[in-house]
Amino acid sequence: MLDFDFEPQTPSWAKRLAAFDLETTGLDLRQSRIVTACVAVLNANGEVEELHEWLVDPGIEIPEAASNVHGVTTEIARANGAPPAAAVPELVSLLAGLMDQMPLVAFNAAYDFSILHHEALRNASSPLTPKPVVDPMVLDKQLVRFRKGKRTLSALTLDYQVPLENAHNSTADAIAAGRLAQRMARQFADQLSMDANELHELQIGWAKEQALDFEKWMKTQNRPDFRAELGWPVRD
C-alpha cells in the first residue's frame, strides 16, 4: 500500500487502474512466448482489489537465461502451466474488459503488449488494441529528461520510493508498476492532469521522440546503422 491519500488535484486516471506484466521466454517481441502473466487492479491507495495470475506452458523450451531471470523452468511450466491457446484469450479478454473502465499500466508497455499481440495471433485470438495505456518508463523519460543510470523498474521504484520485492516476478512487477504510475501522477500532477485517453495519445508521440533520440545517441557510439524500433504501445 502507498503511504498517501490522493489529493484533489491528482489526475483521476490514477485513482483506479489495472497493472499488467509478463515474464517470457526472451526479448524478441515477435517470437517470445508468455511464461507468466499478471493483471492487478489497484485502488487509489495502491491496494490490490483484484489479482489475476497465469502460469503458461509456452510450448517451447524456456532458455536457461530466461529461467534465471524469472525462475520458471521448462519443467515447471510443462508440469503446471496452462496451454497458451487457453491462457492468451483469457488474458486478452480480461484486459479488454478492464480498459473500458480504467487505464492499463505497463512498464515498458511496448514490450508486454507487443508480445501479447503476437501471442494472440499465434493462438488464433483477436489481438488487443490497448487504450488507454500508461507507461511509467515513457512518463519518466518525458518528465525527468536527465537521469543517471538505467531506467529500469527496479531503479525507478527505488527513486520514487515505491516498494518492489521479488523483481522479475510478474505479480510483483505489475503491482510495482501500477504504484509507480500512481506515485508519478501525484508528483507530476500539473503535467499529468488530463484524461487518460489524452495522456495515451501524448505518450505515442513521446515514445517516438524518445526512440529517435536514442537512435541519434547510438549513432554517436560508433553504431551508424542502428535503427530505432518505433511503435507504442504495440509494435506489430
Task: Compute the radius of gyration of the chain from its Cα atoms.
Answer: 17
Quick check: 3 pLDDT over 90? no
Q: At 103, which helix (H) or strand (E)? A: none
Q: How far is CA 164 from the centre of its chain?
A: 15
> Which of 51, 55, 35 minimizes the C-alpha distance to 43?
51
What percentage of the chain reaches a pLDDT higher than 70? 97
Confidence class for position 40, pLDDT limits 50, 70, 90: very high
The CA angle 60-63-67, to the nearest 5 degrees, is 110
Question: What structural domains and CATH numbers belong to the chain?
Answer: 12-220 (3.30.420.10)
pLDDT of 146-202, one tens digit each? 998 899 999 999 999 999 988 899 999 999 999 999 999 999 999 999 999 999 999
Q: What's the Cα-to-Cα distance from 39 to each of 48, 93, 117, rounded to whole Å?
A: 10, 12, 16
8 Å CB contact between 181 and 136: yes
Measured distance CA(19)–CA(233) in Å, rounded:
14
> Which of 222, 32, 4, 201 minimizes the C-alpha distance to 103?
201
Strand-pairing partners, residue 99, are none
8 Å CB contact between 34 and 56: yes
Q: How far is CA 138 from the centre of its chain?
A: 11
Average pLDDT, the chain: 95
pLDDT of 211-222, one tens digit each? 999 999 999 999
Cis preceding linkage at 130, omega within 30:
no
Quick check: 18 pLDDT over 90? yes
pLDDT of 46-99, one tens digit each? 999 999 999 999 999 999 999 999 999 999 999 999 999 999 999 999 999 999
Region 111-119 average pLDDT: 98
What percentage of the chain reaches a pLDDT higher than 90? 93
